[in-house]
A and B are shown apart, each in its own frame.
Chain A
């Protein structure tokens, strides 16, 4: 038994770190987040060339055919670098395509030729697919990530009471920005009025595909959050080592030091839970669904709290626009909400372990 990255997983992670340090430094993050969609075509092509867009998708669909631990290792680096744009929404959509056997579309997603996102939430938002009410393809979807840069929208709707998943050309829908906290990932309101659509799955198959795809996206998100936490911790610790008050570095005071120690506890706990969840998914363990919920429940609170401490440790500097912390802090809140917050996942855990 070995709980840690293997040699090849370590190489993948360190290559990803080097890649994002070179292709997506903070100056580039800030430039891209000022654009209309916060999604950069050039960066996307470079990521596609690395194989990052299809890391967990099967080789016959143009992916790398690797496991979820490899996905987590990559996503952790993306979270650390705060890579803006459609990676996560595109991964979620690709995972739906994979789960519904839409391999032809998946190949275009994995190659970077097309991008896709999933339109799920409605006016009464709930991550449980049972809460989907929109009838086949007329109505509004809210909080749809990266809709403006997506080529395709996967829409969850009700067809005579049954859950159904459709693929819609994004030009066939009305897309309006919903300006929100995270500047690096945009949300949209998307309105459908009977567009041409391809049915991907219906009924139990649709439900299963969504569940599966949501676990894939959630575990990647938890890994991103872990990377983000690590970065916030590093920024705060660097500051605490150099900033002096009362003639000493503030990191020498226990009130500050203990906040940093707590940030490490949150970060390491999230990392342990995330990689375990990823491994159970690769191994297709029976409890992988619960393991994903444990990771998301823990990381949701941990990431927010790490952000709180990182701002506090840096005092006034931590509260400035110029300091990178707030960009991670904004992402932390969006990530906490995405795919269900801690309370949502705790109830999922309760159903599994209490009944």
Chain B
């Protein structure tokens, strides 16, 4: 056990830290909290990612041949943490960088890697992930969007839903049913679909937090070249699981930094806000609750660090990723509730209200956190995965 950075990791961290110090746009933190159109902000983030790419900071652990840096998973984690610490804007193409790129690296043909990966890193092509459907959420393998071979094309029909960045995407990693007669896990296939193909239609889906991060995608006789097959026909489940493992793998690295920042901000507020004639930060009950949040954020950070060390050794994320997913989502909900208790009546105020603390970010954060235990696999599904794949209990479904 050695939690010190190796000399190489230290050099890498210092280099990243210096680059962020010099290059993080000064207007970002203010801009982040302002009302702005989703598309306007996205273009800003796209330009920022391009800047990172040009400086060699996109795809830290991706192979050099495909525009990556060829560094270790641990360096990838260090980079994500430095980025969060510098309060840098996020990259625009998050789904490609975190999920689909690693899947193409694992399952793609040499031609596909050459064609797609560099453009993911430069944010020239934005990606989304077409998995969930109206009748296939937790039971993903029951999905019914079909693809039928017609000469050298698949013809796709069906509907996807809850698709993050569907509105911005140029490409989609789409899971479709190619063999309706096979058992449900064995008749699926993964395709790389150009979102600009005729027959693809995207509609926004407004969430309880007021935004429309997600969308629905409709496919009507969409023709996808056979060359865009990812992996083999009817082996799409393996590809999809690879993607989901990545979703639960290194995704949390930035979160712990953001959670710590939110915690520190809440402590500042608690020192100023009154509770029974004293600052809330002096109230024994509030102190207990804040300390519990601090402890849980630490436990989350340390669980992740252990998991990253394992990934660094084995090369692939495993089912233990479900532990991280449950921890980051449920912890954030508890934290947001503590924030509401500390803010009292101020907690409910929205952006633009007189007296709103931090431009209404806390009301937004509270509502948004409800989605945490649903997106990227519900807490219930994660506990099923732990029960079966980690603890070896019989499958419940």
Contacts and interface: CB of A to CB of B under 8 A. Distances in A.
B383 A254 contact: yes
Interface string B196-223: 0000000000000000000000000000
A264 B306 CA distance: 15
Contacts of A347: 284, 287-288, 291
A247 to B, nearest CB: 12
A249 B391 CA distance: 14
- Chain A CB within 10 Å, residue with most, of B1, B9, B394: B1
Contact of B383 (A3, A258, A349): A258
A4 B1 contact: yes
B155 interface: no
Nearest to A269: B299
Interface in A268-301: 268-269, 271-273, 275-276, 279, 283, 291, 293-294, 297-298
Given A249-B394, A257-B393, A276-B3, A346 B281 contact: no
B61 interface: no
B303 A269 contact: yes
Contacts of B295: 273, 293-294, 297-298, 346, 349
Given A294-B298, A346-B288, A262 B383 contact: yes
Interface in B272-328: 281, 284, 287-288, 290-292, 294-296, 298-299, 302-303, 305-306, 308-310, 312-313, 320, 323, 326-327
Nearest to B297: A294
B52 interface: no
Majority SS at the chain B contact face? helix
B361 interface: no
Contact of A1 (B5, B292, B326): B5
A354 interface: yes
A69 B1 contact: yes
Q: How large is the interface on A (under 10, 10 to 19, 20 to 34, 35 or more residues)?
A: 35 or more
Contacts of B298: 273, 276, 291, 294
Contacts of B309: 1-4
B13 to A, nearest CB: 10
B394 A241 contact: yes
B288 A343 contact: yes
Contacts of B288: 343, 346-347, 350
B292 A354 contact: no
B139 to A, nearest CB: 13
Given A3-B3, A9-B1, A347-B288, A261 B386 contact: yes
B3 A297 contact: no
A228 B281 CA distance: 35
Contacts of B312: 2
Interface in B1-59: 1-6, 9
Nearest to A248: B394
A251 B394 contact: yes
A241 B392 contact: yes
Given A3-B305, A4-B306, A258-B383, A240 B299 contact: no
Nearest to B270: A354
Contacts of B9: 1
Given A1-B9, A273-B302, A264 B390 contact: yes
A265 interface: yes
A316 interface: no
B267 interface: yes
A353 B396 contact: no
B290 A354 contact: yes
A78 interface: no
Contacts of B5: 1
B315 to A, nearest CB: 15
A249 B393 CA distance: 9
Nearest to B263: A353
Contacts of A298: 295-296, 299
Interface in B354-397: 380, 382-384, 386-388, 390-396
Interface string A129-170: 000000000000000000000000000000000000000000
A273 B292 CA distance: 13
- Chain A CB within 10 Å, residue with most, of B309, B380, B394: B394
Interface in A327-343: 343
A1 B5 CA distance: 5
A240 to B, nearest CB: 6
B74 interface: yes
Given A254-B383, A264-B386, A272 B299 contact: yes
Contacts of B380: 254, 258
A5 interface: yes
Contacts of A241: 392-394
A35 interface: no
Interface in A168-219: none
A319 interface: no
Given A1-B3, A6-B1, A297-B292, A251 B299 contact: no
Interface string A233-254: 1000100110000001101111
A276 B394 contact: no
- Chain B CB within 10 Å, residue with most, of A1, A254, A298, A350: A1
17 contacts: A2-B1, A2-B312, A3-B1, A6-B1, A9-B1, A241-B392, A253-B396, A257-B383, A258-B380, A258-B383, A264-B391, A276-B3, A294-B299, A346-B292, A349-B295, A350-B290, A353-B290
Interface of A: 1-6, 9, 69, 233, 237, 240-241, 248-249, 251-254, 257-258, 260-262, 264-265, 268-269, 271-273, 275-276, 279, 283, 291, 293-294, 297-298, 343, 345-347, 349-350, 353-355
Given A248-B394, A260-B393, 4 more contacts: A257-B396, A268-B303, A272-B305, A294-B294
Interface of B: 1-6, 9, 74, 267, 270-271, 281, 284, 287-288, 290-292, 294-296, 298-299, 302-303, 305-306, 308-310, 312-313, 320, 323, 326-327, 380, 382-384, 386-388, 390-396
What are the 3 closest A-B residue pairs judged by CB atoms, nearest first? A257-B387, A346-B291, A272-B302
